A and B are shown apart, each in its own frame.
Chain A
Amino acid sequence: MTVGMINANPVVHERPERAAHPHPADAIDALDVFDTVRDIKDPEHPYSLEQLSVLSEESVSVDEKLGRIQITFTPTVQHCSMATVIGLCLRLKLMQNFPPHFKIDIKVAPGSLANEESVNKQLNDKERVAAALENPNLRQLVDECLCSNDSHSH
């Protein structure tokens, strides 16, 4: 990690509770996906991505017919160098929890990051993602972010 935090004063929100919603047991919808990723920990702070407003319910869209999951996340600051780590966490979490035929597209919210185009391209190059996840230091960081109370995961 770099000396000093990229964002020393994040805004933190309460974690809203949400009632379970009925739907066929094997169907997947945006709220299921959101529940899977909302509690991923920020790489720098002891808060979840949801608490930091990196993610919200509106971040996720699912087209089950096409087998596609799209996530748009908002890094906490414009020059956040942790954006690629957050993207890796999202991708690994989704790969571990949803059927392999789903295509996953991850992007930063438009206008939210100085090097948006570059980060988006990197996060959606599956070869670079695979190589990054073979890097032991990076993999450990990602695993730590994914290691949380799994009471809200499927």
Chain B
Amino acid sequence: MAMDGGAAAVLREAHRLTGHTDRVWSLAWNPSPGAGAGPVLASCGGDKAVRIWKRAADGAWQCSDVLEDTHNRTVRSCAWSPDGKLLATASFDSTTAIWEYSGGDFECVATLEGHENEVKSVSWSASGSLLATCSRDKSVWIWEMQPGNEYECVSVQQGHTQDVKMVQWHPILDVLVSVSYDNSIRVWADDGDDEWHCVQTLTEANNCGHSSTVWALSFNQKGDRMVTCSDDHTLKIWDTSADLSQPKTSDNQESWRHLSTLTGYHNRTIFSAHWSSEDIIASGAGDDAICLFAEDKSSMVEGPSYRLILKKEKAHDMDINCVRWCPQDPRMLASASDDGTVKLWELRGNALD
């Protein structure tokens, strides 16, 4: 890109946000904060609270809200609806809370119950009408939003054999992906009659999958690529261009497939990965480092390969639990850590050539 000349890529720490009194587990940028509003970031953690961060006129980031006294255990995950008006929070108290956000205030308008154990993750579908949750009870639940802040559970899926770590909807299709302590990645779709099924399972045995807990996943913007990260210290890239939302027929045997494994970059568990709209993959790990990767377009090998753009050692004082690119500013990355802080990073220089 011309604006960055030929300078090497650098990840510069721009802001350090303090306030959480325990580890910070998860981050979520509001995808639609509203006309004229700047970026809005939600963070949640072991202190049972959710913090909302906004940038003031002078450029400093401030905590504008603390949502607490609703969950009585760790808040493990948070997610915004596509229209930015709702925030879902998943907790170790076995519940998922839904908060209505009107630009200034938050009101808890629903509580989703049913999981037997800690809820690990929550995700909104691209249409905003479906919500997915997953838990240590090995199940994945799919909820449909109804009028009047009601949520109907439309499916309870039991395919995983262990703790389910994360759920994430495809950015375009109503296809859901779950990743688990059982080392597998499962893909779920509706067969057209409101019956949800596992349509593909990616494991070490037959799909070049991970050899230990899979912690997180992220799609690229178009939804034809996915990255997963694991306790096996690797990131894997998958071709997800096949449309699994269509019922399978005898002549339609397409499936998702493994493209590449990124190994040797992190020496502890990789807890988070996120794919930016500029096609840069960020990863955060238990080695306290952030890595950035991009596809190596000069490579002559068959199939795509990915190269390290940079590794930011000691990005935090402790494990990094979540990395998320800002949707309004694709050069801004947020990270969350066991050290109780959230950091905002600016990516500068030439990252893509």
* Interfacial residues, chain A to chain B (CB-CB below 8 A): 100-101, 103, 121, 125-128, 130-131, 134
Contacts and interface: CB of A to CB of B under 8 A. Distances in A.
Given A100-B339, A101-B318, A131 B212 contact: no
A126 B110 CA distance: 29
Nearest to B46: A130
30 contacts: A100-B338, A100-B339, A101-B288, A101-B317, A101-B318, A103-B268, A121-B181, A121-B213, A125-B163, A125-B181, A125-B213, A125-B231, A126-B319, A126-B338, A127-B76, A127-B120, A127-B165, A128-B136, A128-B163, A128-B181, A130-B23, A130-B46, A130-B74, A130-B92, A131-B74, A131-B117, A131-B118, A131-B136, A134-B74, A134-B92
B286 A103 contact: yes
B292 to A, nearest CB: 23
B73 A121 contact: no
Contacts of B268: 103
Nearest to A66: B267
Nearest to B339: A100
A126 B163 CA distance: 13
B33 to A, nearest CB: 29
For the complex of A and B, list the 6 residue pairs with the smallest distance between their C-beta atoms, beginning with the closest: A131-B118, A134-B73, A131-B92, A100-B318, A101-B317, A134-B92
Interface string B32-68: 0000000000000010000000000000000000000
A101 B268 CA distance: 13
A102 B339 CA distance: 12
A8 B165 CA distance: 38
Contacts of B120: 127
Most buried by B among A127, A130, A131: A127
Interface string B177-190: 00001000000000
Nearest to A134: B73
Interface residues of B, number: 24
Main secondary structure on chain B at its contact with chain A? loop
Contacts of A101: 288, 317-318
Contacts of A131: 73-74, 92, 117-118, 136
Contacts of A103: 268, 286
A125 B162 CA distance: 13
A130 to B, nearest CB: 7
A134 B136 CA distance: 14
A130 B120 CA distance: 12
A110 B170 CA distance: 42
Interface in B61-99: 73-74, 76, 92
Contacts of B76: 127
A125 B181 CA distance: 9
A100 B181 CA distance: 25
Interface in B300-336: 317-319
A97 B102 CA distance: 45
A100 B268 CA distance: 16
Nearest to A101: B317
Contacts of A100: 317-318, 338-339
A100 B316 CA distance: 11
A121 B212 contact: yes
A121 B269 CA distance: 12
B122 to A, nearest CB: 15
Contacts of B165: 127
A131 B213 CA distance: 17
Contacts of B231: 125
Contacts of A125: 163, 181, 213, 231
B41 to A, nearest CB: 22
Contacts of B117: 131
Interface string B158-173: 0000010100000000
Contacts of A130: 23, 46, 74, 92
B11 to A, nearest CB: 20
Contacts of B318: 100-101
A126 B285 CA distance: 12
A64 B40 CA distance: 40
A134 B23 CA distance: 14
Nearest to B93: A134
B80 to A, nearest CB: 22
B39 to A, nearest CB: 27
Contacts of B319: 126
Given A100-B317, A130-B46, 19 more contacts: A100-B318, A100-B338, A100-B339, A101-B288, A101-B317, A101-B318, A103-B286, A121-B181, A121-B212, A121-B213, A125-B163, A126-B338, A127-B76, A127-B120, A127-B165, A128-B163, A131-B73, A131-B74, A131-B118
